[in-house]
Amino acid sequence: MARRTASELRRMREAGRIVAEMHECIRAAVRPGVTTAQLDAVGREVIARRGASSNFLGYHGFPAVICASPNDVIVHGIPGEILLQEGDIISIDCGAVVDGWHGDAAFTMGVGEISPEAARLIEVTEASLHAGIAAMVDGNRIGDIGAAVQRVVEAAGFSVVREYVGHGIGRAMHEQPEVPNHGRPGTGGRLHTGMTLAVEPMVNVGSPETFLTEDGWTVVTADQGLSAHFEHTIAIGEHGPEILTLP
């Protein structure tokens, strides 16, 4: 991957700020009785207000600006008339484009009061993302990121999804290289200053096996256990990783 220039990074930061604002507004709208289509409308409103565009809407025909993935849905849930209920968990993944530069980030949260296990899943998944980000240092390798994620997840007794991975990001939402959430330290391509990657652990309470449902998008856990997802877009800076998808 080419080293991003300062002006390219500025536009990626701007896209990232808009994604973070979508997250904030959607978080504030999550409650029992809201539909995932209503959460999509909140995301659309932020994108329109900021004059950005969505990299999710129309992606291989995807019909919304967010993916909304409740409970046993791992990723790529399509927003619709599904009512969120007290005790659910919901993963929201969304992105924005500014001047052709992309941001992409995801979070999982509880709807009202959730079980201790669901709360621990969310906590561990977010912690695994930050462990992966901490490994994003010039001279390290792609495998160092996945190894750091995997260590946190498996120490907690949860499992890492293998079939879906993080990715390079910049002029397109999905660029090379792939960034798996598992791996061996010191293996894979070398990380260098000026790279921009999206790291996105998907973590299951039970088995890591996935199942693609018949709508062709919605990926669920094969054992119907809970799954969580956190993602940031990150630049590797001279002084370490910089999260671009922050307010």
User: Can you give the binding site for Mg ion, defined by CB under 5 A?
Assistant: 93, 104, 106, 198, 231
Residue closer to Mg ion, measured from CB, 71 or 181: 181
Residue closer to Mg ion, measured from CB, 55 or 221: 55
Q: Which two tokens stand for residue 85?
A: 């209920």
Residue closer to Mg ion, measured from CB, 69 or 83: 69
Tokens 């992966």 sit on residue: 132
Give me the least distance between CB of 92 and Mg ion, in Å please. Answer: 9
Tokens 């391509």 sit on residue: 189
Residue closer to Mg ion, measured from CB, 106 or 145: 106
* 3-class secondary-structure state, position 40: helix
Give me the least distance between CB of 106 and Mg ion, in Å please. Answer: 5
- Helix intervals (H) in the chain: 6-29, 36-49, 116-134, 142-155
Give me the least distance between CB of 84 and Mg ion, in Å please. Answer: 20
- Cα separation, 64 vs 80, whole angstroms: 9
Give me the least distance between CB of 115 and Mg ion, in Å please. Answer: 26
- Cα separation, 57 vs 43, whole angstroms: 11
- Residue 176 burial (CB < 10 Å; 0-12/13-18/19+)? exposed
Give me the least distance between CB of 169 and Mg ion, in Å please. Answer: 7
For residues 93 and 106, is the Cβ–Cβ distance under 8 A? yes
- Cα separation, 228 vs 40, whole angstroms: 19
Residue closer to Mg ion, measured from CB, 163 or 223: 163
